[in-house]
Amino acid sequence: MNQEYDWHSIEASEVLQILGVSTETGLSSAEVEEKTRKYGKNKLTKKKRQSAFLRFLLQFHQPLIYILLAATLVTFFLEEYVDSAVIFAVVLINAIIGYIQETKALKAIDALEDSLASKATVIRDGKKQVIDSIDIVPGDVVSLRSGDKFPADIRLFQLRDMQVDESALTGESVPVQKNVDPVPSENVLGDRFCMGFSSTNVTYGQGRGIVVATGDNTEVGKIQQSIAGAQDLETPLTQKIKSFSHLLLWVIIGLSAILVVVGLIRGESFGEIFMVAVALAVGAIPEGLPVAVTIMLALGVSKMAKRKAIIRKLVAVETLGSTNVICSDKTGTLTENQMTVQKIFAGEKYFDVTGLGYNPDGKVELDGKPVDLKSFKSLSLCLKAGILCNDSGLKEKNGAWMIEGEPTEGALLVSGYKAGFKSGELENSWPRLSTIPFESEYQYMATLHGGDQPIIFMKGASEAILERCSEMYDEKGDLVPINKDNLLAKVEELASHGLRVLSFAMKIPSTELEWINHEDTNSEMIFLGLQGMIDPPRKEAIEAVALCQKAGIDVKMITGDHAVTAASIAEQIGLKGLREDGKLKALNGKELQLLDDSEFEEFAESVSVFARVSPDQKLRLVKALQGRGKIVAMTGDGVNDGPALKQANIGVAMGITGTDVAKDASDMVLTDDNFSSIEGAVEEGRSVFDNLTKFIVWTLPTNLGEGLVVLVAVIIGSQLPILPVQLLWINMTTAVLLGLMLAFEPKEPGIMDKPPRPAKQPILTIDLIMRTLLVGTLIMMAAFGLYIYEVVYLNQSLSYGQTVTTSVFIFMEAAYLFNCRSMVRPIEEIGFFTNMWIFFGVAAMTFFQLLYIYSPVMNTLFNSSPLQMDSWWRIIGVSITLFVIVTIEKRIRLNLSNNQKSKD
């Protein structure tokens, strides 16, 4: 609706004139019909999603799966029905597991649409009407009061002390006081005080306004479009596996082409040639890898759940291990989300208040020692004023202290309780007789109390209180003239530390009163003191931030709060970043708007505190960091966080305070809303990736050895030492029964003492590639050598020789499994029995391999034969030999590495 207008920067009367609407009569029925046709219903457009069937078919859209599907078809037409059925079964199992585990269609847009489902009171045809919010159109005159939800974006023109909770949209932790005055066009959402935005809630007061945007044109609608437009990024692991798959695809195609040419030259039949090519493909493709990776990630999900992190998307487990930037919200994640009084200025002295949150355990101290309130009259009265001039309550429920009412008033109750006062006892001594509620025009609240001596207590904005005061108490408790400039300087000093400051005053009425009005509080008040409060940082968050920074992870605070407060909390938490004049630099939304793309990227990387940012700026920050090659984790809880959560490599939503939109746009949900849970999840993510790497390093030599065995057989003109169906048996059973046991490896020491893996670093380093070549070659030599020995020298049957080859692969893999429990350290250093699942896996694999060898049914299915004891000794011998060789190789590399470090 008229998007060329910045409605917040235009006078309300001009807005009404532009839209041609009267505040008394509103729109006519004919105008409503016309606008409905022009702008549509007040709802968000749903994104068209893929059908379930299409999502299932896409599970087969992988290069290596194409090869296996082709092998399935050709072996079927060649009447190799068992081979065809087994190959297809493997492909189908992979597809089913992938479909089940794949992220279901995001529900973020549905949640956004649900946020519009409410009623609205409008003026139409000169009459007040209650309609469904979906029928709201631009130009409607809407009436709102406490408890109502804004049905659309509205330019306010008439108000009475309206306060609006915009936390879900802007991240602002306290309700916003609205007014009707226009603001500069460049103001971010949180500073557009004359606007009410769709899906936000009126918490106090009432007012009227005119609708200027509906549906997709609202700020919430723009967020929806950002979510829909955000890219689903591949994780580092999926990128690496995809690259590996494409490389392997071309290698298999190239080698198969060579095999076909060699076979045709030798005059072999197409059927024989193709079965050899199938054997090569099946041997080279790690069929068990997708299943094993999925299961290992799922086990990682289970571990993270125990650390208060619920994973919604499996690949997020691995991404956490690669994360090198965490963009965190402030309120409730890095902080307690419980306003706490920390400083009091009264009687010309500063007092400290200990303790955190709403728990009243703590003390009021002077120079580190508890105070005696009898010696500090002004302090005592200041604390009493905070308790009595207060409409909130403090209660304990299930061992936790909770506020009923406004957080700021709750903080005042707690500070008074810490000094030894109780609201019930004070109210009995000074029962409330009358109240002047807070109004934006006056900026204070006042209460009249009876008792032995009637008294008026007042609290509010410092400027409003001080202009009504003429006296104050000095440190001796004597009344002295007030020095307003000096007190305002004290207010500024407290505010510079990020504290929200309230002033307190009192007055003893000259006559007996039953009620009070503004005239009674307009002058001759006695200033009592200042209380400075803040939402304090979580102790565990401070420790977690330090651990993350030690691990090479940059932590950035992105908040809707004010820059001074954000920077103060960042200093207390220990964030590192660009500093100016010895202080952390904090950029606000207005400053970000002035930066070009190059400057924006530079500051996104160097600055660690961003305040008063809009949803599109959060999204832009994430993209800027990704543009610099960063793997970004982003936390959020509001509607405004949706696009950035979706765009981030891993979106982290808050489980307690998070909106449905934030949760559905995320990859991970924190059940305790605590930053320390992110650090724990990162640690688990690194462990999962380490174990995945161990699995890949363990499985690839087998595939290399299998491919080499087939190649050597073709080159020397021998019959195949192993059949395609036997290769599938090896790859699938060992992946699940042996390789999967590496998922239970405990975290290696120092996992959080090293920097994150570079995003472009391959899974296999040069050292690991050399080890893969070594092990793959040794397995090939042992398997082919024993096959030739059994078939040629001992005159065993082809089936017998193929069974020996199969067993060599399986038991050499079992031996190599113990080597892979650590990529660097030998087995005696990590402890032989620290992962008992390894022994369970080897025992289970042995049992199934014995079935494969000695069960008649398996002999028929897989063309296997029973083995004699002599063959077993040879199989065990080569397996132990492999374990010893790799152990020696690891020790040599470890010694060389240690020597290099000592030289450095």
Can you tell me the distance from the alpha carbon of 206 to that of 730, in angstroms, rounded to the nearest whole number?
72
Q: 309 - beta bridge partners?
A: 670
Q: Is 429 helix (H, G, I), strand (E, B) or coil?
A: helix
Q: Which residue's entry shows tokens 């995003």?
A: 759
Amino acid at 793: Y
Give the burial class of 888: count Cβ atoms within 10 A of its Cβ; 0-12 exposed, 13-18 middle, 19 or more buried.
exposed
Q: Could you give the CA distance from residue 313 to residue 298 in angstroms, rounded to a whole number?
A: 10
Residues 551, 323: contact at Cβ < 8 Å? no
For residue 250, with 0-12 CB atoms within 10 Å meaning exposed, 13-18 middle and 19 or more buried, which class applies? exposed
Long-range Cβ pairs for the range 492-496 (8 Å, 24+): 494/343, 494/345, 494/530, 494/532, 495/532, 495/564, 496/564
Q: Which of 730, 850, 878 is nearest to 790 (CA)?
A: 878
Distance (Å, whole) CA 251 – CA 245 = 10
Q: What is the CA radius of gyration of the chain?
A: 36
**What stretch of H or E contains 505?**
strand 500-507
Candidates 522, 520, 529, 527; CA nearest to 482 is: 527
**Active-site annotation, residues:** 329
Q: What is the dihedral of CA 731, 736, 741, 744, to 10 degrees?
A: 130
Its sign, for the CA torsion 261, 263, 267, 270, is: negative
Beta bridge partners of 668: 311, 652
Give residue 162's identity as a one-letter amino acid code: M
Hey, what long-range contacts does 834-838 have (CB within 8 A, 24 or more apart)? 834/746, 835/741, 835/744, 835/745, 835/746, 837/741, 837/744, 838/741, 838/742, 838/744
> Residue 489: CB partners within 8 Å, gap ≥ 6?
none
Strand-pair category, 632-636 with 325-328: parallel
